[in-house]
Amino acid sequence: MNTAQQLRAIHQYTYEKMKSDKTGHGFDHIQRVVNLTKYIAAQETQPFNYLTAVSAAYLHDIADDKLVTDVQASETEMKNFLTSIEFLPSQIAAITTITHNMSFSKSLENKHQQLSLAGQMVQDADRLDAIGAIGITRAIYYGGAHQEIIYDPKIKPRKSFSKQEYRDLDNETIINHFYEKLLKLKVLMNTTGGKLLAEQRQQFMLDFLTEFKAEWTGEK
């Protein structure tokens, strides 16, 4: 199989797995992360492995513990699939190293692994989809699905938190999620293309929060 055929096969595999997702990780999220990865790749001047980057973009949420009950089984199935479309063990390892180490919660751990340039691109692409207008929409969609309240000025955003606390949604408000995570992503961008897009999206979120708070009390 050539690279184009392999990427088509991965597209189809991911589409079948994600098409019915209702958690904000549907195939629309995957397609945007793939497209953002390609955009970032086009701005990049350093050498990187394109096939690894685009494959990891497609596959980054396939074996996520938020989405599947048996992470190990999903991971094994994915590796078998990649073998069946003629990926070498070293190529599969490059992809899974990215998917294991790119998440925000992983970056809260002390001994997280430095990502390859391909991995940094996918990480930026995934984070770009959590900010800006799409990011606002996904946060509200997620918050509604997890019974979060919208906003309470008395509940202050946590300044820092461990990986476990990050998963603990008690007392989370949708607006606090912006301060605890989304507004922090801009400075964590790795790549030139990622930094560029994050700039506009950050400003859009800040404007949204200003307007939201101005409207919150309904007094004007």
Residue 138 is a binding residue for ligand ADP (CB under 6 A): yes
Minimum Å gap between C-beta 42 and ligand ADP is 22
Residue 208 is a binding residue for ligand ADP (CB under 6 A): no
Q: Give, as ranges, the residues between 125 and 144 that touch Ni ion (CB under 5 A).
A: 126
User: Could you tell me the two tokens for 58?
Assistant: 């497609």
> H/E/C letters for each residue in the chain?
CCHHHHHHHHHHHHHHHHCCCCCCCCHHHHHHHHHHHHHHHHHCCCCCCHHHHHHHHHHCCCCCCCCCCCHHHHHHHHHHHHHHCCCCHHHHHHHHHHHHHCCHHHHCCCCCCCCCHHHHHHHHHHHHCCCHHHHHHHHHHHHHHCCCECCCCCCCCCCCCCHHHHHCCCCCEHHHHHHHCHHHCHHHCCCHHHHHHHHHHHHHHHHHHHHHHHHHCCCC
Q: How many CA atoms lie within 13 A of 109 on its CB side?
A: 12
In sequence order, the 6+-apart residues with CB closer than 8 A to the CB of 102 are: 56, 60, 115, 119, 122, 123, 126
Minimum Å gap between C-beta 139 and ligand ADP is 4
Query: Binding string to ligand ADP for residues 182 to 201, with x set by CB under 6 A, is what?
Result: x-------------------
Nearest to 57 by CA among 117, 139, 104, 125: 125
Minimum Å gap between C-beta 216 and ligand ADP is 17
Identify what 44 binds: ligand ADP, Ni ion, none; CB under 5 to 8 Å per kind: none
Minimum Å gap between C-beta 145 and ligand ADP is 9
Q: Which stretch binds ligand ADP (CB under 6 A): 88-96, 106-114, 135-143, 209-217?
A: 135-143
Minimum Å gap between C-beta 126 and Ni ion is 4
Residue 139 is a binding residue for ligand ADP (CB under 6 A): yes
Residue 177 is a binding residue for ligand ADP (CB under 6 A): yes
Residue 17 is a binding residue for ligand ADP (CB under 6 A): no
Minimum Å gap between C-beta 156 and Ni ion is 28
Q: Which stretch binds Ni ion (CB under 5 A): 60-68, 91-99, 148-156, 166-174?
A: 60-68
Q: Which of 7, 10, 18, 24 binds ligand ADP (CB under 6 A)?
A: 24
Task: Give the binding site for ligand ADP (CB under 6 A).
Answer: 24-25, 61, 64, 66, 126, 130, 135, 138-139, 142-143, 148, 169, 172, 174, 177, 182
